[in-house]
Amino acid sequence: DHVIIQAEFYLNPEQSGEFMFDFDGDEIFHVDIEKKETVWRLPEFGHFASFEVQGALANMAVNKANLDIMIKRSNHTPNTN
pTM, 2 dp = 0.76
Would the pLDDT of 78 be above 80?
no
Cis geometry, peptide bond prior to residue 13 (ω within 30 degrees of 0) = yes
State the Cα–Cα distance between residues 59 and 62, nearest whole angstrom.
5
Q: CA-CA distance, 40 to 21, in Å (whole number)?
A: 10
- What is the set of domains in the chain, with CATH numbers? 4-73 (3.10.320.10)
pLDDT in tens, 25-73: 999 999 999 899 999 999 898 899 899 999 999 999 999 999 999 988 8
**Per-residue confidence at 76, pLDDT binned at 50, 70, 90?**
low
